[in-house]
């Protein structure tokens, strides 16, 4: 498998997680692990429990049973070490804050109550914006940024948090091809710097072309592991409960309806 | 008399009386606090909460009236209870939030009306809570406003970054370790306290206006949250000052005049704001059509 962290534990380890809302189960006995330094996809249809799973890993949703560990420690106890980029539609883009304000929020958990962000916190926030190539637009109001730029700001916030593990919920949704391409380039940089990325997405072609691991989820884990081994028609059809056809064009894999 | 002196007279005459000066101080202080708290209300879409808490507090005012207790204290306790009830419901999500908040509003207000309907005596005190009577504020009232208003602003100053983060993105704030549940209740309690100091000036029916109208105007003009709070405060104070002039010279309700001035300022900003104004933002679009 991929390279190990110093303590040898996976970046994310989900063991027999059951979770849901009311009596409705969203996750049924989910078990998988993701090694440090991976770019891993979380693939599944609408309502397959992807967002719930990310919320459980973050400690925002309490599972009925089961456990989540990150680098060997219970995930709920390491607030701040796991970064999160929510679905873009859940973010209030009309809020009167600048990109820098949003990235600084990534520091708030570390700063603690009753204290103001220090100069060092601002430096870290600006470095994070630099990393996602948004430093020149740090003082713009977030409502004035493009969709791709807005997502870069959210990723910079996770970086400012000094998170080793980044969970991203549908980062490609609504982006045009070139913004998607830029975002994948950024993922590559971050992965190169040793960060683990776990990305919930519908975009099978992106996963097939750029990701090295994937978890196929439809309330249960259908399969997980390395690409391209787990990226088979059989697994896709079981995940999406329909017949998909994989088309290989000049070494790139696309999923199509049969 | 030279015209300048005459104009000056028109401006100074109302404030020659102590009760008018007191009214201005009270209304201006309440406006500043309400604009700061109101910025969160406007940004979080909590306007209905800002309406429900004052209405529900009427039940507490009426209970205090029957018991012969301090009316303001009764209103304050009911406002805080209503704020906590709203917080509990919005965090648990048994029913739609607006439905639950509406029921809290109705229960408290109906309790007040029920109690008042049993009173055969003169209940002018109770009705000053419904419609507000800024001209009747005492120095004690002003000191209560200074004390509670100072407390509200101090809490917002101390927990500004947590309030900002939770208002902007509660999920991420929770994931980053911000105690969002406490912040959620604290913000509602601050709204409750602001309602308490606003009731004397504006009354149950109109207190929502000082919470929402200046902050909504400021949202159209400001580029940051502190800027929004500052512009909202200015709009609030300007509305209080001009509303009191109108009340003095036209002999009309002061709280209603203040509200109409602030909604008038909102309308102007809505039409003319540089970035978001209705007339400004449609201008280029119409030109584009003409060019086609």
DSSP string for B120-182: -S--HHHHHHHH--GGG--HHHHHHHHHHHHHHHHHHHHTHHHHHHHHH-HHHHHHTT--HHH
User: Rounded distance, CA B261 to CA B259, Å?
Assistant: 5
CB contact (8 A) between residue A84 and residue B177 = no
| C-beta contacts of A121-124 below 8 A and 24+ residues apart | A124/A160, A124/A162
Average pLDDT over residues B210-227: 94
B159–chain A Cβ distance below 8 A for any pair: yes
pLDDT, chain A, mean: 88
Task: Give the A-side interface with B, CB within 8 Å.
Answer: 55, 58-60, 79-80, 82, 84, 86, 90-92, 95-98, 101-102, 105-106, 108-109, 111, 113-114, 116-117, 141, 157, 161
Q: Is the pLDDT of residue B127 over 90?
A: no
Residue that wins the pLDDT comparison between B216 and A247: B216
The predicted-structure confidence for B45-64, as pLDDT tens digits, reads as follows 999 999 999 999 999 999 99
Within 10 angstroms of residue A7's Cβ, the number of other Cβ atoms is 9
Rounded to a whole number of angstroms, the distance from the CA of A59 to the nearest CA of chain B is 7
For residue B289, the model assigns a pLDDT of: 39
The predicted-structure confidence for B155-194, as pLDDT tens digits, reads as follows 999 999 999 999 999 888 888 888 899 999 999 999 999 9
Give the rounded distance of the alpha carbon of A183 from its chain centre: 12
Check if the interface score ipTM surpasses 0.90.
no
Q: Which residue of A92, A114, A161 is in closest CB contact with B176?
A: A161
CB contact (8 A) between residue B162 and residue A108 = yes
Q: Which residue of B161, B174, B225 is in closest CB contact with A60?
A: B174
Q: Which residue of A60, A109, A114 is in closest CB contact with B171?
A: A60
Which residue in chain A is spatially nearest to B156 when comparing CA positions? A114
The predicted-structure confidence for A42-89, as pLDDT tens digits, reads as follows 999 888 999 999 999 988 889 999 999 998 888 876 667 888 998 888
Q: Is the pLDDT of residue A91 over 80?
A: yes
Whether cis (ω within 30° of 0) applies to the bond prior to B286 is: no
Assign B122 a pLDDT band (cuts: 50, 70, 90).
low
Average pLDDT over residues B34-41: 97
Q: Which residues of chain B are within 8 Å of residue A96 when distances are taken between CB atoms?
A: 43, 219, 222-225, 227-228
Rounded to a whole number of angstroms, the distance from the CA of B160 to the nearest CA of chain A is 9
Pull the structure tokens for residue A104.
């600084």
Assign A246 a pLDDT band (cuts: 50, 70, 90).
confident
Rounded to a whole number of angstroms, the distance from the CA of A110 to the nearest CA of chain B is 8
CB contact (8 A) between residue B172 and residue A157 = yes
The predicted-structure confidence for A157-183, as pLDDT tens digits, reads as follows 988 988 889 999 999 888 888 888 888
| A51 touches A224 (CB < 8 A) | no
Pull the structure tokens for residue B123.
């209940």
The predicted-structure confidence for A196-233, as pLDDT tens digits, reads as follows 999 999 888 888 888 999 999 999 999 999 988 888 88
Which residue in chain A is spatially nearest to B160 when comparing CA positions? A114
User: Rounded distance, CA A161 to CA A124, Å?
Assistant: 9
Q: Cα-flanking dihedrals φ and ψ of residue A231, to 5°?
A: -90, 70
Q: pLDDT exceeding 90 applies to what percent of chain A?
A: 51
Which residue in chain A is spatially nearest to B154 when comparing CA positions? A114
User: Biggest alpha carbon distance in chain A?
Assistant: 58
Q: Is the pLDDT of residue A17 over 60?
A: yes
Nearest to B260 by CA among B238, B290, B228: B238
CB contact (8 A) between residue B159 and residue A113 = yes
**pTM higher than the cut 0.90:** no
| A4 touches A55 (CB < 8 A) | no
């Amino acid at each position: 498998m991929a390279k190990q962290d110093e303590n040898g534990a996976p970046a994310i380890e989900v063991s027999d997680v059951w979770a849901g809302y009311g009596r409705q189960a969203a996750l049924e006995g989910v078990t998988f692990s993701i090694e440090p330094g991976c770019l891993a996809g979380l693939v599944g249809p609408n309502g397959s429990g992807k967002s719930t799973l990310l919320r459980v890993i973050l400690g925002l949703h309490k599972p009925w049973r089961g456990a989540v560990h990150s680098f060997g420690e219970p995930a709920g106890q390491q607030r701040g070490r796991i970064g999160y980029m929510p679905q873009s539609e859940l973010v209030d883009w009309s809020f009167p804050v600048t990109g820098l304000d949003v990235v600084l929020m990534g520091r708030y958990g570390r700063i603690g109550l009753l204290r103001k962000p220090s100069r060092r916190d601002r430096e870290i926030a600006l470095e994070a914006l630099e990393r996602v190539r948004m430093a020149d637009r740090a003082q713009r109001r977030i409502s004035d940024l493009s969709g791709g730029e807005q997502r870069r700001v959210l990723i910079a916030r996770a970086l400012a948090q000094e998170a080793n593990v980044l969970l991203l919920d549908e980062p490609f949704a609504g982006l045009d091809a070139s913004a998607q391409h830029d975002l994948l380039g950024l993922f590559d940089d971050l992965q190169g710097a040793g960060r683990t990325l776990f990305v919930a997405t519908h975009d099978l072609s992106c996963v097939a072309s750029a990701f090295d691991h994937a978890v196929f989820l439809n309330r249960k884990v259908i399969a997980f592991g390395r690409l391209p081994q787990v990226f088979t028609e059989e697994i896709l059809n079981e995940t999406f409960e329909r017949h998909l056809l994989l088309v290989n064009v000049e070494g790139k894999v696309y999923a199509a309806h049969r | 008399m030279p015209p300048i002196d005459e104009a000056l007279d028109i401006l100074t005459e109302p404030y020659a009386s102590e009760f008018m000066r007191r009214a201005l101080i009270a209304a201006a202080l309440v406006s500043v606090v309400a604009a700061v708290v109101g910025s969160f209300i406007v940004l979080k879409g909590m306007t209905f909460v800002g309406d429900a808490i004052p209405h529900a507090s009427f039940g507490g005012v009426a209970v205090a009236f029957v018991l012969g207790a301090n009316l303001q204290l009764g209103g304050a306790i009911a406002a805080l209870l209503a704020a906590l009830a709203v917080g509990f419901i919005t965090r648990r999500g048994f029913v739609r939030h607006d439905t639950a908040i509406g029921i809290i509003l109705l229960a408290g207000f109906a309790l007040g009306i029920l109690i008042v309907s049993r009173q055969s005596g003169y209940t002018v005190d109770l009705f000053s809570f419904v419609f507000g009577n800024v001209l009747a504020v005492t120095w004690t009232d002003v000191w209560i406003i200074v004390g509670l208003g100072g407390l509200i602003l101090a809490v917002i100053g101390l927990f500004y970054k947590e309030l900002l983060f939770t208002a902007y993105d509660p999920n991420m704030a929770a994931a980053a370790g911000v105690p969002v549940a406490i912040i959620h209740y604290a913000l509602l309690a601050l709204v409750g306290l602001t309602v308490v100091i606003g009731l004397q000036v504006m009354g149950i029916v109109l207190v929502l206006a000082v919470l929402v109208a200046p902050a909504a105007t400021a949202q159209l003009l400001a580029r940051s949250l502190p800027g929004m709070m500052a512009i909202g405060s200015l709009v609030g104070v300007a509305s209080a000052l001009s509303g009191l002039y109108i009340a003095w010279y036209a002999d009309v309700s002061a709280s209603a005049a203040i509200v109409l001035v602030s909604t008038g300022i909102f309308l102007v900003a809505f039409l003319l704001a540089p970035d978001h104004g209705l007339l400004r933002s449609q201008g280029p679009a119409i030109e584009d059509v003409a060019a086609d």
